[in-house]
Amino acid sequence: MWGMSETPPESPDFDAMARDIAEVPAVEVIVTVAVNLMSAAAVKLGLTEEGDTHKDLDEARKLVHALAGLLDASTTEISSFHAAPLRDGLKSLQLAFREASLVPDEPGKGPGEKYTGPVYG
């Protein structure tokens, strides 16, 4: 921690960040967030090269559920060109979650199934 006489560590330039984000189309922001959620969920499901090192099904459930909610809410906002691969990725994550669970959720009760309906292999 820094004292009163010291200057704070360099802080982000929020004005520059706001200008940069203002130039990004909404579809690109939505897709980027979705891909980040997918990547984080894959890590928490143990689907990366590190395997089970970072596996945490509780965390994975939250991420998959958030991804499903985002995709459900943005369906009419992004084209099928963007939506189709994201939905495929979501379904793969949902199936991987079901496979990784020691006690699988009932159909329709798995992560994100509130938005997608039951997912079957």
User: Distance between CA 22 and CA 9 in Å, rounded?
Assistant: 26
Would you state the pLDDT for residue 50? 86
| pTM score | 0.82
Q: Which DSSP string do the residues of 30-97 spell out, in sequence order?
A: HHHHHHHHHHHHHHHTT-STTGGGG--HHHHHHHHHHHHHHHHHHTTTS-HHHHHHHHHHHHHHHHHH
Per-residue pLDDT of the chain (121 residues; tens, 9 = 90+): 545 555 556 777 878 777 788 889 999 999 999 999 999 999 999 999 888 899 999 999 999 999 999 999 998 999 999 999 999 999 999 999 999 999 989 999 999 999 999 998 7
- Nearest residue to 42 via CA among 82, 1, 95, 85: 95
Distance of CA 108 to the CA centre of its chain: 19
User: Distance between CA 111 and CA 104 in Å, rounded?
Assistant: 11
